[in-house]
């Protein structure tokens, strides 16, 4: 079905297509358009290929086709892709239809849960030979669904054959028996799978797993490239001048960029120097940063046998490196199969196979649902071969479709203490990755794993390339901090609580069981070390006391009125900010100021008691474990020891938290949730430079730190000083942007929308954001420094845009929509959208920022830094603020064909600081505009930029067409290439001539003489 919207109550069915297959494999089809009663949103015509209002006008009404459709369907089972959606629509509009529905998404989720996506377009391109885009037309989508279903079933049988699991039992025997164990019926798909006609295999478009061997071709290419380097064998950067090496990718026009060359050259020199082995490089967007550092990395691996770790901050960039950039660079250099790479995360990001099988075996939920059981089967199918099991990689749609999955996964995530890959007999993904690390050339990780690098035995941290390195400064404090969270600590205490006393403890019973177990491992440990009943009772008393003291901390906030004066979490440094005011309370007929002081005192005194009780438990263990009689190698002993180690770590952390030494460089932060149901105590070391030097810099042979935003006021000292890089031999380089920011980006400051605290700020801002989308006829990304403002603006825009053809989204979910240049989309994003949003061309024309991303002056961490290092607010705030603004601005210029408007809604009136900020915007001037002149200003800038963009683009495409000399029709080729670059222009021959082109780009038409472009 194609519909005019997502909600059946206010949307209509516009088209129905169906294919009927009877017992004897006779095939018949049904296809009809349906006349609409209400306006169809324009994006539907964009989405559904060749659907037009004209055709819908000629179509019959729904009532006129209903009977034919019902007769065609009869009592058949209906298979569709996304049953929830189709069933909902059919139920509402054709209530007479009572057929059974089967969902091909569910089939895909159960049989191939490792897929990244489950939409029809993705599945068909992945598992069938049809690589054409989904048409979003009813009948053609139905045929695609049939192809996908066939492919899924055939590939399932193929896998069973490979696993040698084809027996006399039906194909779905294992799935159905597990369901039957819980008295549930066979899986709905079983009948279809088991009765499939496998003799038709050859007639389907199924793609089976195949190995491709390109080694021979690669060898030749590698030799050619080696020759190209001539006498300068080490001067890898010279390869960037060889267009042929990099041009190979379809739809990609390679251009030499001096900035990329400089980046590669400096990295190559740093890898091969005896002196400054640390380089900090600011590499602006658009220079091809990833290829710029991967080229020397790959060649250092190949020719100098170095092993490299590449660290990035965002998951998006890690995926891009692994899926796109690394294979592209390796292929381009003819090194396929000769340079190994992969990425690894911390243990708890993986599903543990051994935990899973135990969980599956012991699973005894009363009356589980079919989806509960299917979720367990999905996990099994996912991890079975040991190739998958990275929790973060599990598709969002899979988790949405099987809501029960998350809970099961939580229970089978790898246990940091128990997992010992060297001794484990399972072939899980985590073990596989740890083993691969030993010989892996390039390993991609995230910054926090790098900071605590736990795989030194497998791969020492010798050569690192850190991308998005500016993040190390802000996140660095987190890397080295320690914390106790109330909820986690409670769970931990329950884990070590002797079960025989649990029923008499009111505290124990209050805690929801996360994992139902018959005998807890800790009880087996207590029995292993032969702990007496009285000793266990003593432990339970100590734990009860700890529970009680923790509850008191939260109750204090409620009883003393703190909960009445705040809607936000409380955060403060317990020694430095104790006299700060939390709010004012009306008590005993008068207003009283409430400070943090009493709360700091109660936290301290309660945790002193808690620490003393923890110490008593540790003493009990110390006295009662006789190392001579226990089996130190037994799993249960190791488990118990790991819990004791956790308890010791907690004691050490609490000891540090409770110390109150004036001169120490540590911040002790207490956070209480606004609902007063959770707290976190945190110890944050402030000597980041020392820690970074000791833990990271000192281990390195070579360290490359790259980012588009490392400098503030054209200097890198903020970065190098904070991380201690200034104390080691280093090189710093700022590479100039290759695009003319001043020309391509207009930075404006609306002057008449009021201050951010004024009542109508959100109203004015919403109005402006909508206006920018209308003026630019394009998408807008609006960045926010406050969650509340973001939500208020979203509500307002949502309301204002009900009858408009502009869509509005919140947060990262909406980023995808920016890639659609045909519609107008507004995406409102917070912190996470300041970076990692990479939308080229006309996808993103306008970025707005609600206010400067300043730090809260009372933020406990920064307050501690200011107090202990005697810094001003400006010293601490300004550099981080500049970097964030630069990051936001960087969203606009990603490629050669980018341009746009950057709006700073509220940046205050301090001319000095605004001028300073301006100096960091690559030459852009902040221009004041008001409601009257905003449209004129933006339109003028866009018109000028669009003319430049389209001219440059046509020159590039025509040049490339000549070089490629392919057979595509001239105009067809140009249009295809324009679309590849996300530019919203269309080209055709002018009238009947073949020497002039008519280019339509937004609301302007250009007449272009082909000869002149060719000569340019
Ligand atoms: S190696 Fe670790 S994660 Fe993998 S199955 Fe064994 S214990 Fe679980």
Reduce the secondary structure of 661-672 to three states and give it as a string.
CCCCCEEEEEEE
pLDDT at 222: 84
Nearest CA to ligand 1 atom 3: 352
Check pLDDT > 60 for residue 514: no
Counting ligand 1 atoms within 8 A of each CB, the residue from 415, 421, 425 with the most, and so the one to mutate, is 421
Check pLDDT > 50 for residue 360: yes
Q: Report pLDDT digits (tens) over 204-218.
A: 899 987 644 444 555
E-only strand ranges, 467-510: 482-485
CB-ligand 1 contact for 383 (6 Å cutoff): no
Q: How far apart are CA 542 and CA 465, in angstroms?
A: 48
Q: Calculate how far, in angstroms, residue 152's C-alpha sits from the geometric centre of ligand 1.
A: 29
pLDDT at 213: 47
In terms of phi and psi (left: phi > 0; alpha: psi -120 to 50; beta: otherwise), the region of 759 is alpha
CB-ligand 1 contact for 424 (6 Å cutoff): yes
Q: Calculate how far, in angstroms, residue 350's C-alpha sits from the geometric centre of ligand 1.
A: 9
Check pLDDT > 70 for residue 973: yes
Over range 145-170, report the average pLDDT: 89
| DSSP code, position 324 | I
Q: Does 134 or 672 have the greater pLDDT score?
A: 672
Q: With contact defined as beta carbons under 8 Å apart, do 798 and 752 qualify?
A: no
Q: Calculate how far, in angstroms, residue 418's C-alpha sits from the geometric centre of ligand 1.
A: 8
Atom nearest to 414 CA in ligand 1: 3
pLDDT at 61: 94
pLDDT at 212: 44
Counting ligand 1 atoms within 8 A of each CB, the residue from 346, 350, 351, 353 with the most, and so the one to mutate, is 353
Spell out the long-range contacts of 816-822 with Cβ–Cβ below 8 A and sequence spacing 24 or more.
817/779, 818/779, 818/781, 818/843, 818/844, 819/843, 819/982, 820/779, 821/778, 821/779, 821/982, 821/983, 821/984, 822/43, 822/46, 822/984
Over range 512-526, report the average pLDDT: 69
Tell me the β-bridge partners of 32.
16
What percent of the chain is modeled with pLDDT above 90? 64
Atom nearest to 355 CA in ligand 1: 8
pLDDT at 112: 96
Q: Calculate how far, in angstroms, residue 568's C-alpha sits from the geometric centre of ligand 1.
A: 40
Atom nearest to 429 CA in ligand 1: 4
pLDDT at 214: 47
Q: Calculate how far, in angstroms, residue 385's C-alpha sits from the geometric centre of ligand 1.
A: 14
Check pLDDT > 70 for residue 289: yes
pLDDT at 307: 96
Q: Calculate how far, in angstroms, residue 420's C-alpha sits from the geometric centre of ligand 1.
A: 7
Q: Which run of H or of E encompasses 320?
A: helix 315-320
Counting ligand 1 atoms within 8 A of each CB, the residue from 345, 384, 426, 638 with the most, and so the one to mutate, is 426
Atom nearest to 421 CA in ligand 1: 1
Q: Calculate how far, in angstroms, residue 414's C-alpha sits from the geometric centre of ligand 1.
A: 6
Neighbours of 185 (CB within 10 A): 10
CB-ligand 1 contact for 430 (6 Å cutoff): yes
Nearest CA to ligand 1 atom 1: 421
Q: How far apart are CA 893 and CA 711, in angstroms?
A: 18
CB-ligand 1 contact for 352 (6 Å cutoff): yes
Check pLDDT > 90 for residue 832: no
CB-ligand 1 contact for 354 (6 Å cutoff): yes
Atom nearest to 424 CA in ligand 1: 6
Check pLDDT > 50 for residue 517: no
Q: Calculate how far, in angstroms, residue 441's C-alpha sits from the geometric centre of ligand 1.
A: 23
Instruction: Provide the pairing of β-strand 900-906 with 590-595.
Output: unpaired
Residue in 20, 40, 238, 205 with CA at minimum distance from that of residue 130: 205
Counting ligand 1 atoms within 8 A of each CB, the residue from 390, 428, 434 with the most, and so the one to mutate, is 428
Over range 9-38, report the average pLDDT: 92
Q: Report pLDDT digits (tens) over 262-273.
A: 999 999 999 998
What confidence tier does 13 reach under pLDDT thresholds 50, 70, 90? very high
Check pLDDT > 50 for residue 446: yes
Q: How far apart are CA 335 and CA 217, in angstroms?
A: 10
Tell me the β-bridge partners of 17.
31
What confidence tier does 341 reach under pLDDT thresholds 50, 70, 90? very high
Check pLDDT > 90 for residue 40: no
| DSSP code, position 675 | T
Counting ligand 1 atoms within 8 A of each CB, the residue from 424, 455, 635 with the most, and so the one to mutate, is 424
For helices 635-658 and 597-624, what crossing angle results, to 10°?
A: 150
Over range 33-49, report the average pLDDT: 83
Q: What is the mean pLDDT of the chain?
A: 90
Ordered DSSP codes for 103-137: EHHHHHHHH-TT-S--SHHHHHHHHBS--SPP---
What confidence tier does 790 reach under pLDDT thresholds 50, 70, 90? very high
Q: Calculate how far, in angstroms, residue 355's C-alpha sits from the geometric centre of ligand 1.
A: 8
Over range 220-245, report the average pLDDT: 82
Q: What is the distance, to the nearest Å, from the Cα of residue 835 to the centroid of all Cα atoms in its chain?
A: 11
CB-ligand 1 contact for 419 (6 Å cutoff): yes
pLDDT at 513: 54
Check pLDDT > 50 for residue 678: yes
| DSSP code, position 618 | H
For residue 971, with 0-12 CB atoms within 10 Å meaning exposed, 13-18 middle and 19 or more buried, which class applies?
A: middle
Q: How far apart are CA 152 and CA 172, in angstroms?
A: 13
CB-ligand 1 contact for 428 (6 Å cutoff): yes
Q: Calculate how far, in angstroms, residue 78's C-alpha sits from the geometric centre of ligand 1.
A: 42
Check pLDDT > 70 for residue 962: no
Q: Which run of H or of E encompasses 152?
A: helix 138-162
CB-ligand 1 contact for 433 (6 Å cutoff): no
Using alpha carbons only, what angle is made at residue 511 by residues 508 and 514, rounded to the nearest 5 degrees? 120
Q: With contact defined as beta carbons under 8 Å apart, do 798 and 826 qualify?
A: no
Neighbours of 742 (CB within 10 A): 13
CB-ligand 1 contact for 412 (6 Å cutoff): no
Q: Calculate how far, in angstroms, residue 415's C-alpha sits from the geometric centre of ligand 1.
A: 8
Nearest CA to ligand 1 atom 2: 419
pLDDT at 407: 92
Q: Calculate how far, in angstroms, residue 141's C-alpha sits from the geometric centre of ligand 1.
A: 42
Nearest CA to ligand 1 atom 8: 352
Check pLDDT > 70 for residue 1016: no
Tell me the β-bridge partners of 485.
680
Q: Report pLDDT digits (tens) over 625-637.
A: 887 878 877 888 8
Q: Calculate how far, in angstroms, residue 352's C-alpha sits from the geometric centre of ligand 1.
A: 5
Counting ligand 1 atoms within 8 A of each CB, the residue from 346, 414, 454, 458 with the most, and so the one to mutate, is 414
Check pLDDT > 70 for residue 966: no
Residue in 361, 358, 412 with CA at minimum distance from that of residue 382: 412
206 in helix, strand or coil?
strand
CB-ligand 1 contact for 427 (6 Å cutoff): no
CB-ligand 1 contact for 421 (6 Å cutoff): yes
From edge to edge, which strands make up the β-sheet containing 900-906? Answer: 806-810, 824-829, 780-783, 846-851, 900-906, 745-750, 926-929
Q: With contact defined as beta carbons under 8 Å apart, do 657 and 604 qualify?
A: no
Backbone angles phi, psi at 623, to 5 degrees: -75, -25
What confidence tier does 50 reach under pLDDT thresholds 50, 70, 90? confident
CB-ligand 1 contact for 350 (6 Å cutoff): yes
Q: Calculate how far, in angstroms, residue 348's C-alpha sits from the geometric centre of ligand 1.
A: 10
What confidence tier does 813 reach under pLDDT thresholds 50, 70, 90? confident
Over range 153-172, report the average pLDDT: 86
Q: Calculate how far, in angstroms, residue 356's C-alpha sits from the geometric centre of ligand 1.
A: 10
Least confident of 9-18, 415-424, 506-515: 506-515
E-only strand ranges, 696-845: 702-707, 730-734, 745-750, 780-783, 806-810, 824-829
Q: Calculate how far, in angstroms, residue 111's C-alpha sits from the geometric centre of ligand 1.
A: 23
Residue in 593, 572, 575 with CA at minimum distance from that of residue 584: 593
What confidence tier does 420 reach under pLDDT thresholds 50, 70, 90? confident
Nearest CA to ligand 1 atom 7: 419
Q: Which positions ≥6 away from 480 have C-beta within 8 Å?
A: 451, 684, 685, 688, 691, 695
Q: How far apart are CA 622 and CA 471, in angstroms?
A: 42
Q: Calculate how far, in angstroms, residue 423's C-alpha sits from the geometric centre of ligand 1.
A: 9
Q: Calculate how far, in angstroms, residue 432's C-alpha sits from the geometric centre of ligand 1.
A: 10
Using alpha carbons only, what angle is made at residue 77 by residues 73 and 82, rounded to the nearest 5 degrees? 100
Q: With contact defined as beta carbons under 8 Å apart, do 372 and 474 qualify?
A: no
Spell out the long-range contacts of 986-990 with Cβ–Cβ below 8 A and sequence spacing 24 or more.
987/954
Q: How many residues does the chain have?
A: 1016
Q: Which run of H or of E encompasses 491?
A: helix 486-496
pLDDT at 211: 45
Check pLDDT > 80 for residue 507: no
pLDDT at 172: 94
């Amino acid at each position: 079905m194609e519909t005019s919207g997502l909600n059946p109550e206010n949307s209509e069915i516009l088209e129905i297509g169906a294919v009927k297959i009877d017992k004897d494999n006779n095939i018949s089809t049904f296809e009809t358009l349906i006349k609409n009663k209400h306006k169809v949103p324009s994006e539907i015509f964009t989405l559904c290929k060749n659907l037009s209002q004209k055709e819908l006008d000629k179509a019959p009404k729904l009532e006129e086709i209903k009977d034919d459709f019902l007769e065609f369907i009869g009592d058949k089972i209906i298979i569709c892709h996304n049953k929830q959606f189709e069933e909902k629509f059919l139920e509402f509009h054709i209530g007479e239809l009572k057929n059974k529905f089967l969902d091909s998404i569910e089939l895909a989720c159960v049989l191939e849960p490792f897929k990244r996506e489950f939409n029809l377009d993705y599945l068909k391109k992945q598992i069938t030979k049809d690589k054409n885009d989904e048409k979003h037309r009813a009948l053609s989508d139905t045929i695609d669904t049939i192809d996908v279903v066939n492919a899924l079933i055939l590939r399932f049988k193929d896998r069973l054959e490979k696993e040698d699991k084809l027996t006399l039992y039906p194909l779905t025997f294992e799935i159905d028996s597990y369901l039957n164990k819980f008295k549930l019926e066979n899986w709905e798909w079983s009948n279809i799978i088991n009765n499939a006609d496998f003799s038709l295999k050859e007639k389907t478009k199924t793609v089976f797993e195949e190995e491709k061997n390109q080694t021979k071709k690669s060898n030749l290419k590698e030799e050619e490239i080696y020759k190209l380097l001539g006498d300068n064998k080490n001067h890898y950067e010279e390869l960037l001048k060889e267009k042929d090496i990099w041009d190979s990718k379809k739809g990609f026009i390679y251009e030499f960029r001096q900035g990329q060359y400089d980046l590669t050259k400096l990295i190559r020199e740093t890898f091969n120097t005896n002196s400054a082995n640390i380089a900090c490089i600011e590499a602006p967007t658009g220079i091809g940063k990833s290829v710029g550092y991967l080229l020397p990395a790959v060649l250092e691996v190949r020719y100098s046998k170095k092993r490299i770790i590449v660290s990035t901050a965002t998951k998006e960039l890690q995926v891009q490196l692994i899926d796109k950039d690394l294979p592209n660079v390796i292929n381009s250099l003819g090194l396929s199969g000769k340079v190994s790479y992969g990425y690894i995360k911390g243990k708890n990001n993986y599903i543990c196979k051994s935990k899973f099988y135990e969980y599956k075996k012991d699973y005894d939920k009363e009356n589980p649902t079919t989806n509960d059981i299917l979720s367990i089967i999905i996990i099994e199918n996912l991890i079975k071969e040991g190739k998958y099991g990275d929790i973060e990689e599990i598709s969002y749609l899979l988790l949405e479709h099987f809501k029960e999955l998350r809970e099961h996964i939580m229970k089978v995530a790898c246990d940091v203490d128990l997992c010992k890959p060297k001794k484990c007999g399972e072939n899980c993904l985590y073990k596989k990755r740890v083993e691969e690390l030993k010989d892996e050339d390039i390993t991609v990780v995230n910054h926090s794993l790098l900071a605590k690098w736990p795989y030194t035995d497998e791969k020492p941290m010798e050569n690192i390339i850190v991308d998005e390195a500016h993040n190390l400064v802000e996140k660095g404090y987190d890397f080295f901090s320690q914390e106790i969270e109330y909820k986690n600590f409670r769970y931990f205490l329950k884990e070590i609580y002797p079960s025989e006393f649990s029923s008499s403890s009111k505290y124990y019973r209050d805690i929801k069981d996360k994992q139902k177990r018959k005998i807890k491992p800790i009880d087996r440990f207590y029995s292993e070390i032969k702990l007496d009943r009285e000793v266990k009772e003593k432990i339970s008393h100590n734990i009860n006391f700890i529970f009680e003291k923790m509850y008191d901390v939260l109750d204090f906030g409620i009883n003393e009125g703190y909960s009445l004066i705040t809607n936000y979490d409380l955060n403060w440094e317990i020694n430095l900010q104790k006299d700060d005011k939390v709010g004012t309370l009306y008590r005993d007929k008068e207003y009283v100021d409430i400070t943090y002081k009493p709360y700091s005192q109660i936290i301290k005194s309660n945790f002193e008691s808690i620490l003393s009780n923890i110490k008593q438990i540790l003493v009990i263990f110390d006295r009662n474990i006789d190392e001579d009689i226990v089996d130190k190698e037994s799993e249960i002993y190791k488990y118990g020891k790991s819990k004791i180690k956790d308890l010791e770590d907690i004691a050490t952390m609490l000891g540090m938290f409770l110390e109150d030494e004036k001169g120490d460089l540590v911040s002790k932060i207490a956070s209480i949730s606004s609902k007063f149901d959770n707290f976190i105590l945190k110890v944050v070391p402030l000597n980041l430079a020392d820690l970074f030097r000791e833990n990271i810099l000192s281990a390195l042979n070579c360290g490359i730190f790259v980012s588009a935003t490392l400098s503030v006021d054209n200097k890198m000292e903020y970065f190098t000083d904070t991380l201690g890089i200034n104390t080691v031999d280093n090189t710093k380089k700022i590479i100039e942007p290759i695009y003319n920011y001043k020309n391509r980006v207009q930075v404006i400051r609306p002057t008449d929308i009021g201050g951010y605290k004024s009542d109508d700020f959100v109203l004015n801002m919403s109005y402006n954001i909508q206006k920018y989308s209308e003026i630019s006829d394009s998408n807008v990304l609006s960045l926010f420094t406050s969650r509340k403002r973001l939500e208020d603006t979203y509500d307002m825009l949502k309301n204002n845009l009900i009858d408009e053809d502009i869509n509005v989204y919140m947060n990262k979910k909406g980023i995808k929509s920016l890639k659609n240049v045909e519609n107008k989309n507004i995406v409102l994003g917070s912190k996470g959208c300041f970076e990692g949003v990479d939308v080229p061309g006309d996808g993103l024309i306008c970025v707005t920022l609600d206010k400067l991303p300043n730090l809260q002056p009372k933020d406990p961490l920064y307050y501690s830094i200011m107090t202990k290092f005697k810094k001003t607010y400006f010293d601490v705030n300004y550099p981080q603020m500049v970097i964030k603004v630069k990051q936001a601005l960087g969203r606009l210029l990603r490629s050669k064909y980018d341009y746009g408007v950057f709006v700073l809604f509220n940046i205050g009136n301090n001319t000095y600081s605004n001028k300073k900020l301006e100096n960091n915007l690559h030459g852009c001037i902040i221009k004041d505009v008001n409601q009257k002149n905003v449209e004129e200003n933006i339109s003028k800038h866009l018109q000028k930029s669009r003319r430049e963009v389209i001219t440059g683009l046509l020159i590039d495409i025509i040049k490339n067409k000549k070089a490629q000399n392919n057979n595509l029709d001239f105009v067809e080729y140009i249009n295809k290439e324009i679309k590849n670059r996300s530019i919203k222009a269309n080209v055709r021959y002018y009238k009947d001539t073949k020497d002039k082109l008519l280019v339509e780009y937004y609301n302007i038409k250009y007449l272009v003489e082909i000869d002149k472009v060719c000569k340019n």
